[in-house]
């Protein structure tokens, strides 16, 4: 079943500096949402290196908070 991905979800202010799961066309990214704009999200991934990942909005399918 194919799923069409959308542009960046609206209302991301409440997600800033919180743990999120970002579903993309290529898989899932878990981490802290550090910034967002009209065309991108920045997620600090939860791994030993604490890398900052920039995700283009066109690749974002969904974002949800993690407990």
Residue 38 pLDDT grade (very low, low, confident, very high; cuts 50, 70, 90): confident
The dihedral sign for the CA sequence 27, 32, 35, 36: positive
| Fold type of domain 12-65 | SH3 type barrels. (2.30.30)
The pLDDT assigned to 58 comes to 87
pLDDT in tens, 11-34: 888 899 999 999 998 899 999 999
| Spatial distance between the Cα atoms of 36 and 40, rounded to a whole number of angstroms | 6
Task: Inform me whether the pLDDT recorded for 8 exceeds 70.
Answer: no
Question: How confident is the prediction for the chain on average, in pLDDT?
Answer: 84
The pLDDT assigned to 2 comes to 47
Q: What angle do CA 26, 6, 52 make, to 5 degrees?
A: 50
């Amino acid at each position: 079943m194919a799923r069409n991905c959308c542009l960046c979800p609206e209302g991301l202010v409440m997600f800033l500096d919180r743990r999120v799961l970002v579903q993309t066309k290529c898989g899932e990214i878990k981490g802290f949402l550090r910034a967002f704009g009209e065309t991108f999200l920045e997620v600090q991934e939860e791994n030993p290196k604490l890398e900052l990942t920039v995700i283009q909005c066109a690749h974002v399918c969904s974002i949800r908070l993690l407990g």
